[in-house]
């Protein structure tokens, strides 16, 4: 069965493709000739993921899933949340975003935060969603060179290193996206027998 992963991020696509059950033929937006940047106009992670999945299903008449991720900071009433990519402006710079967040938390003792990934799946005219989260805290200064986005300032609970200092295997195992993808994969494996 053909299933579209609605992402333009080739690294994300490659990571997920190897995990798919054998009855799923995973194809990318490039594979189906979708070059446009699908607008993320929703006010929640779930709404944005659904908008992206619906765009592909409606325009190309294909089963599809899409993901959306945000960093939710306790002391900032869960900001930047759905606006994580553009927190410091339309340039979507990870450095600018981290600097702005560190400034916003200056002098703040409550540094609790969590990453959340929501996946929306449109499969055979039905809609499903899956969520993965990881709890942690925002450290006082950037540490580590791995990962991307806010990884250098996020330390997951139970570890003394940031996501940017931890091996990718660890991040995938305990992280938000890895958990959401695992739920999706389990569901797809079971869907074969339905």
Position of minimal CB gap to ligand IMP: 149
Shortest distance (Å) from residue 36 CB to ligand IMP:
16
Which distant-in-sequence residues (6+ apart) come within 8 Å of 73 by Cβ? 79, 80, 101, 104, 105, 112, 113, 138
**Is residue 31 marked as binding?**
no
Shortest distance (Å) from residue 51 CB to ligand IMP:
12
157 is a catalytic site residue: no
**Is residue 163 marked as binding?**
no
Rounded Cα distance between 80 and 70, Å, is: 7
Contacts with ligand IMP by CB under 6 A lie at 68-69, 84-85, 92, 94, 97, 147-151, 163, 177
Rounded Cα distance between 158 and 76, Å, is: 23
CB 172, CB 151: distance < 8 Å? no
DSSP per-residue letters across 21-44: -TT-EEEETTTTT--S------SS
Whose Cβ is closer to ligand IMP: residue 138's or residue 188's? Answer: 138
Which of 68, 78, 110, 160 is flagged as catalytic?
A: 68
**Is residue 137 marked as binding?**
no
Which amino acids are annotated catalytic?
68
Output the known binding site for substrate: 7-12, 69, 148-151, 171, 176-177
């Amino acid at each position: 069965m053909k299933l579209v992963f609605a992402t333009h991020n080739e690294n994300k696509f490659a990571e997920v493709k190897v995990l798919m059950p054998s009855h799923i033929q995973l194809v990318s937006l490039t594979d189906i000739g979708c070059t446009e940047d699908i607008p993320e106009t929703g006010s929640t992670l779930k709404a944005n993921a659904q908008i992206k999945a619906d765009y592909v299903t409606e325009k190309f008449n294909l089963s599809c899933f899409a993901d959306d991720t945000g960093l939710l900071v306790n002391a900032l009433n869960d900001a930047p949340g759905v606006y994580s990519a553009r927190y410091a402006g339309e340039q979507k710079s990870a450095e600018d975003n981290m600097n702005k967040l560190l400034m916003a938390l200056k002098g703040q003792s409550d540094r609790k935060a969590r990453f959340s990934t929501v996946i929306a799946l449109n499969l055979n005219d039905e809609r499903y969603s899956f969520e993965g989260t990881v709890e942690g805290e925002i450290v006082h200064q950037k540490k580590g060179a791995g990962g991307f986005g806010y990884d250098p300032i996020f330390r997951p609970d139970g570890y003394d290193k940031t996501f940017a200092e931890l091996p990718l295997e660890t991040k995938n195992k305990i992280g938000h996206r890895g958990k959401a993808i695992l739920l999706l994969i389990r569901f797809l494996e079971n869907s074969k027998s339905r």
